[in-house]
Amino acid sequence: MVALSVDVLFDAAIRIQLLERSITITFADNTIRMKFPTTRRLAEFLDVPHYYVLPYFASMEQEELVTRAERVGILTTAKGSRKMVELMREKYAKETSEILGQVIFEELHRKI
């Protein structure tokens, strides 16, 4: 079983998005927010019980990396979006560019 951490969950979120070829980005109030997979989807992907990931989401909310919006899901905050885009750039630049396009990916990184 994988050792969970905030970094592992962010990495898994990106890998899920790349696997599903779907990255949802919202631009609102001068903030870039990215949709996180559900806690159940992350637990399934990481092959851990769902209740294992829940304390990490509470921690990520306290660290202001994500926010939960009723009927919308889990979204990154400005700080969380920065973390996600940096990780995409460091580890998954080619795959992310294939989905978003190079220009959009570069502009997203510039805005963050």
pLDDT given at position 1: 63
- Does a structural domain hold residue 103? yes
**What percent of the chain has a predicted confidence (pLDDT) above 70?**
99
pLDDT digits (tens, 9 = 90+) for 42-94: 999 999 999 999 999 999 999 999 998 888 889 999 999 999 999 999 999 99
pLDDT given at position 27: 87
Task: Give the CATH number of the domain where residue 76 resides.
Answer: 1.10.10.10
Calculate the alpha carbon distances from 47 to 8, 81, 92, 95 in Å: 13, 25, 22, 23
Say if CB 42 and CB 13 are below 8 A apart: yes
Alpha-carbon span 28 to 5, nearest angstrom: 28
Q: What is the mean pLDDT of the chain?
A: 92
E-only strand ranges, the chain: 25-28, 31-36, 66-69, 73-76
Is residue 33 scored above 70 in pLDDT? yes
pLDDT given at position 29: 79
In the chain, the number of structural domains is: 1
Say if CB 81 and CB 94 are below 8 A apart: no
Angle between helices 93-100 and 102-111 (to 10 degrees): 110
- Within 10 A of 47 (CB to CB), how many other CB atoms are there? 8
- Does a structural domain hold residue 1? no
Domain with 44, as residue range(s), is: 6-111
